[in-house]
């Protein structure tokens, strides 16, 4: 077994539970209200957590994964609001570029790593593409915009589209990629489209047009396939 620890961040406890169930040699430790599960998955040592929603929760967990738990690569898997007609609900965006849509990007880029946009690691993106293909999931490699608000109206959606033209919008990805860049750690962010980031978004998510159970099954399978390919 290659002893490079992989940090796995799931957005939903159901998804994390599925991955945890498939791990062997398990132990856990809680810090800052987040439980970090360590074990072996697909022959690789992994540390898994459900970080919580939003940029700060994501950044804290990503930093702990790297500095405290020794993760040498980060995978984030979750859901997002679709911003493109190229794919639909249930399909996946693999983050090639990740950026904040609600922040002063130029001011943030004043300090290391001096970036206004962050990038998924090419080898991890390729592995994620292969994992999606193996699981029969439609995907695109694209642009993910991150902010601390749930986007659930057309005016906000259109403003974000005009500002940064993302393929989807979510609440953690750029923060994870930002921390990963600070510590020169490769990362990849996977997002399954759960809604269209419009007036129906909240309803779609909460009333469960979007099947969380199915999503969590698929996401866990993609993650395991991805780890197998790293």
Tell me which residues touch ligand ADE (CB under 6 A).
Answer: 79-81, 150-152, 169-171, 194-195, 197, 201
State the minimum distance, in angstroms, from the CB of residue 188 to ligand ADE.
18
Which residues does the annotation mark as catalytic?
15, 195
Q: Which is nearer to ligand ADE, 91 or 170 (CB)?
A: 170
Q: Which is nearer to ligand ADE, 62 or 80 (CB)?
A: 80
State the minimum distance, in angstroms, from the CB of residue 5 to ligand ADE.
28
What region does 8 belong to: left with phi over 0, alpha with psi -120 to 50, or beta?
beta
Beta bridge partners of 77: 10, 190
State the minimum distance, in angstroms, from the CB of residue 52 to ligand ADE.
13
Q: Which is nearer to ligand ADE, 41 or 168 (CB)?
A: 168
The residue with its CB nearest to ligand ADE is 81
Distance CA 44, CA 66 (A): 16
User: CB 35: neighbour CB atoms within 10 A?
Assistant: 14
Q: Which is nearer to ligand ADE, 42 or 212 (CB)?
A: 212
State the minimum distance, in angstroms, from the CB of residue 36 to ligand ADE.
23
Distance CA 116, CA 99 (A): 7
């Amino acid at each position: 077994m290659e002893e490079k620890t992989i940090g796995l961040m799931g957005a939903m406890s159901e998804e994390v539970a599925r991955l945890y169930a498939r791990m062997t040699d398990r132990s856990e430790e809680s810090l800052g209200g987040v439980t970090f599960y360590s074990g072996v998955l697909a022959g690789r040592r992994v540390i898994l957590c459900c970080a919580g929603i939003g940029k700060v929760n994501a950044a804290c967990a990503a930093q702990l994964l790297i500095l405290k738990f020794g993760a040498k690569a980060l995978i984030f898997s979750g859901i997002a609001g679709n911003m493109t007609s190229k794919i639909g609900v249930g399909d996946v965006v693999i983050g090639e570029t990740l950026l904040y849509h609600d922040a002063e990007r130029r001011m943030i880029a004043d300090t290391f790593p001096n970036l206004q946009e962050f990038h998924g690691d090419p080898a991890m993106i390729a592995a994620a593409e292969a994992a999606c293909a193996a699981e029969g999931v439609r995907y695109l490699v694209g642009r993910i915009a991150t902010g601390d608000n749930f986007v659930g109206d057309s005016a906000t959606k259109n403003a974000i589209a005009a500002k940064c033209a993302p393929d989807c919008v979510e609440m953690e990805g750029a923060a994870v990629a930002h921390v990963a860049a600070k510590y020169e750690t490769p990362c990849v962010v996977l997002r399954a489209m759960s809604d269209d980031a419009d007036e129906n978004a909240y309803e779609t998510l909460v009333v469960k047009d979007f099947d969380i159970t199915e999503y969590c099954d698929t996401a866990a399978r993609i993650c395991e396939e991805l780890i197998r390919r790293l």
